[in-house]
């Protein structure tokens, strides 16, 4: 099979899986989502990797994602150094910006996602201890299916000494995620019901 045909087949498989998982997640009721977010937050707070991490890259969750926004205030209250991904117009890429106030430092970003004000301090991705990674689907090997833009894969490629933890509803864990050569494997997966160790940390 040619490289072009393989790429086309991979893209089609990812599109199909995105549709299937999004349909499954859309069936969750508001009450189920609230309970899942609460259980997730408690599990994260009790997790040793979270407790030991000092410099974090967190995320402002989208409406269709498991809500992890509460991690921002919790991390700041615990005295951790908190960063969020923000679009850097100078490079056309996403990078990490330090956030000191839960909501005051955030603005509407390039794709309507809340992200740090571009005037905040940029933090080298090599300084991160733990990166919280949302996604559409995950498998037990740590493979992740994102939204298709590749922003997180580029960030993770530069965060060379961080643990990568995928987060999502239990309904987002699948048997196998189709991956390509540029897809980054996660170290952990954390859902409302469990923590999965996918591969050993490298630092």
The CA R_g of the chain, rounded to the nearest whole Å, is: 16
Residue range 140-158, pLDDT digits in tens: 999 999 987 778 888 888 9
Cα angle 71, 67, 118; round to 5: 65
For residue 111, pLDDT beyond 80: no
Residue 171 has pLDDT above 80, yes or no: yes
pLDDT on residue 77: 95
CATH code: domain 3-197 is 3.40.50.10420
Q: How is the chain split into domains, by residue range? A: 3-197
Contact between 178 and 17 (Cβ < 8 Å)? yes
pLDDT at residue number 22: 97
Query: 195 phi and psi, to 5 degrees?
Result: -120, 125
Strand duo 144-145 + 137-138: pairing: antiparallel
pLDDT above 70 covers a percentage of the chain that reads: 95
Does residue 36 surpass a pLDDT of 80? yes
Of residues 102 and 26, more confidence is placed in 26
| Beta pairing partners, 131 | 57, 164
Locate 9 and state its tokens.
């087949």
pLDDT tens for 43-90 read 999 999 999 999 999 988 989 999 999 999 999 999 999 999 998 878
Residue 198 token pair: 């996918």
- In the predicted structure, residue 182 carries a pLDDT above the cut 70: yes
pLDDT at site 203: 63
The predicted structure's pLDDT at residue 122: 94
For the chain, what is the mean pLDDT?
91
């Amino acid at each position: 099979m040619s490289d072009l045909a393989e790429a086309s087949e991979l893209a089609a498989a990812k599109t199909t899986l995105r549709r299937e998982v999004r349909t499954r997640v859309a069936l969750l009721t508001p009450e189920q989502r609230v309970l899942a977010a609460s259980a997730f937050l408690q599990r994260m707070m009790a997790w040793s990797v979270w407790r030991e991490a000092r410099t974090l890259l967190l995320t402002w969750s989208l409406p269709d994602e498991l809500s992890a926004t509460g991690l921002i205030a919790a991390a700041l209250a615990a005295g951790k150094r908190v960063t969020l991904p923000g679009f850097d117009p100078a490079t056309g890429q996403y990078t990490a910006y330090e956030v000191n106030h839960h909501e005051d430092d955030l603005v509407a970003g390039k794709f309507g996602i809340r992200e740090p004000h571009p005037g905040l301090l940029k933090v080298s991705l090599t300084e991160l201890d733990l990166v919280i990674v949302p996604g559409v689907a995950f498998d037990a090997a740590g493979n992740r299916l994102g939204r298709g833009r590749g922003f997180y894969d580029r960030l993770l490629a530069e965060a060379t000494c961080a643990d990568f933890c995928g987060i999502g509803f239990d309904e987002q864990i699948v048997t196998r995620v189709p991956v390509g050569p540029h897809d980054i494997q996660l170290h952990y997966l954390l859902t409302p019901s469990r923590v999965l160790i996918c591969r050993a940390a490298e630092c």
